[in-house]
Chains A and B, each alone.
Chain A
Amino acid sequence: MSGDPLTHKPAISFLGTTALLLEAVGETSLPVQQKIWALSKEIVSWPEVLEAVSGMNNLMICFHRPPADPASFIQRLEDAWQAVEPLTVEGRTIVLPVVYGGEAGPHISDVMAHTGLTVDEIAEIHSAPLYPVYALGSHPGYCYLGGMDHRIATPRRKTPVLKIPGGAVSIGGFQTGVSASDGPSGWNTIGSTAMSFFDVSKNPPNLLQPGDMIRFTIERVVR
């Protein structure tokens, strides 16, 4: 079972002395993500840990103070990874109508060029799955989604654009997501939707939580 991402030893690297990154190996999957959620929950009570930030089948662990003996910290972390059981979450589903292509999707031509698909095919493939929220991140209100069809995977841009608008639906590598506000991004914008994802006055401020689901529907395709 050495090739099983659920039990295989994770890759571990440092982000300076501020944080450490644990990355599960193998194909991205929801069961691995459920282990990431469980590990995150487990280790936030460790005294060295300031916060734990879930990514796509990976976990960043920020330190209060850098551990004096990083090797022993890594050993404890690896043991905890082996020990935790996947954490299942009963999420909600929200539906987001998307306008694909045209002014709302300035990079859809790059996705077409890379994949050889038409705008209609991209919209069809993109709106087919029910996407689980794997993690929050990037900026307030943003969700990382799992389960995108690899036929529309497109590399991140050579140089990130300085501003894409809130509501932008975009593809970065094998992932897709929705921008919650204007800001820089290295992803390819294929369409747009309208939804408020973050309100700092609410608790929690995020509309969506890991384990919730997003369904995109085709509102319009601009060819």
Chain B
Amino acid sequence: MIEILSSSSLVTVQDLGRFGALGLGVSHSGAMDRLALMAGQILLEQSDQLAGIEIPIFPFKIKFHQPCRFVLTGADHQARLGDEMVWPWMVAEAGTGQVLTIERAESARWPASRVYLCVAGGIDVPLALGSRSTQLRGQFGGFCGRILQKGDQLPIGISTAMAKTVLKVGVVPPALSMPRLREGVVLIRVMRAAEYEAFTQASREALWASPWKITSQSDRYGYRLSGPTISPEHPLELRSHGIVPGVIQVPHGGQPIIQMRDAQPSGGYPKIATVIEADLWRLGQAPIGSSVYFVEVTWQEAVEALDEIESWLEEVRRMIALARFDSNGDVPS
């Protein structure tokens, strides 16, 4: 069991999300940076379907009430276990009673906003509609359907990792190994959406040319952007339809909103573009106040980008399996 010592808002239990219930009005939820969560689970040599904790606010502190192997992935940060420093993206081991403190990095080596804490055995909250992710709107899933609070005691699952020793290997964060920047600004790949052509030419040009600032009114539901005003040729009032994380809606005020993991599964504002799934982790890490550029890709390029993500994860799995083989000569199970 681990105990939350910080009274910080917005920290939630997340796995990869809840699929198959959009038709009930239940959004996907799940980690904003799926790669960080999955890499954390792979580093712990366990199923990438297990749940971890998404931490967007620092400092954040927990206490281990049992011996526990863990890893911190996602954003660069400074962490201490008791007095000892803990490296990001490397497995560490906590003893009973030890306190883990995670603080913002003084000079981050890559720009990102969310840290993921994965523990051996996973955060063992009950499945709700097939997932452990927190469904804030519906107040179910995760830990009691809500953000974590000081004093919460989270159960840890029984670890199935066969390993005896902690692997002394780390993973290079994908923000460093697969950077996508234009003039130092994060570049997000999008495909045109249904109403793209209904916007004025000046608006369409501005979409591609302008940096878009992620405003403080941004969260797991959506990123509200600020930039040039985007206007349709004529006002559009659409019938409500399904939408997915990544869809960029333009409300009548002309400032776009990108739907994120907690976004409602339907909407009716016109859609100018959709962020491709392969870049949602990157966007999910973009800090409030930072800017992004959009660049257009084709269906084929979007599919290849998904393949690149899969290859990166496969490489992490292979590297961990090799390290285990080197460490004890066992064939990894």
Spell out A's residues near B (CB within 8 Å).
Answer: 11, 13-19, 21, 23, 28, 40, 50-60, 62, 66, 68, 70, 135-142, 144, 153, 155-160, 162, 172-175, 180-181, 183-184, 186, 198, 200, 204-206
Q: Indicate if the CB atoms of B274 and A139 lie closer than 8 Å.
A: no
Residues of B within 8 A of A144 (CB): 240, 266
> Besides the contacts A60-B241, A144-B266, what 10 more A-B pairs have beta carbons closer than 8 Å?
A11-B194, A18-B245, A54-B23, A66-B302, A138-B266, A139-B27, A139-B137, A184-B222, A186-B251, A186-B269
Check if B25 is an interface residue, CB within 8 A of chain A: yes
Q: Indicate if the CB atoms of B19 and A50 lie closer than 8 Å.
A: yes
A58-B239, A139-B25, A174-B237 known; A13+B194 contact, CB < 8 A: yes
Smallest CB gap from A200: residue in B: B140
Q: Indicate if the CB atoms of B240 and A136 lie closer than 8 Å.
A: no
Residues of B within 8 A of A172 (CB): 240, 268
Check if B135 is an interface residue, CB within 8 A of chain A: yes
Residues of A within 8 A of B51 (CB): none
Q: Indicate if the CB atoms of B302 and A17 lie closer than 8 Å.
A: yes
Could you tell me the distance in whole angstroms from the C-beta of A209 to the nearest C-beta in chain B? 10
Distance, CA A173 to CA B61, complexed state (A)? 47
12 sample A-B contacts, Cβ–Cβ < 8 Å, listed by A number: A15-B193, A15-B274, A17-B277, A21-B194, A51-B20, A53-B23, A66-B303, A135-B266, A138-B240, A156-B237, A159-B252, A160-B251
Could you tell me the distance in whole angstroms from the C-beta of A71 to the nearest C-beta in chain B? 10
Distance, CA A28 to CA B137, complexed state (A)? 29
Q: Indicate if the CB atoms of A16 and B268 lie closer than 8 Å.
A: no
Distance, CA A147 to CA B255, complexed state (A)? 31
Of A138, A155, A160, A184, which one neighbours B237 at CB under 8 angstroms? A155
Of B235, B264, B265, which one neighbours A155 at CB under 8 angstroms? B235
Check if B211 is an interface residue, CB within 8 A of chain A: no
Q: Indicate if the CB atoms of A62 and B22 lie closer than 8 Å.
A: yes
Q: Indicate if the CB atoms of A17 and B306 lie closer than 8 Å.
A: yes
Q: Indicate if the CB atoms of B303 and A186 lie closer than 8 Å.
A: no
Residues of B within 8 A of A21 (CB): 194, 241-242
Smallest CB gap from A19: residue in B: B244
Per-position 1/0 for B259-289, Cβ under 8 A of A? 0000011111101001111000000000000
Distance, CA A40 to CA B26, complexed state (A)? 17
Q: Indicate if the CB atoms of B242 and A204 lie closer than 8 Å.
A: no
Residue from the set A53, A56, A183 with the largest chain B CB neighbour count within 10 Å: A53
Residues of A within 8 A of B237 (CB): 153, 155-156, 173-174
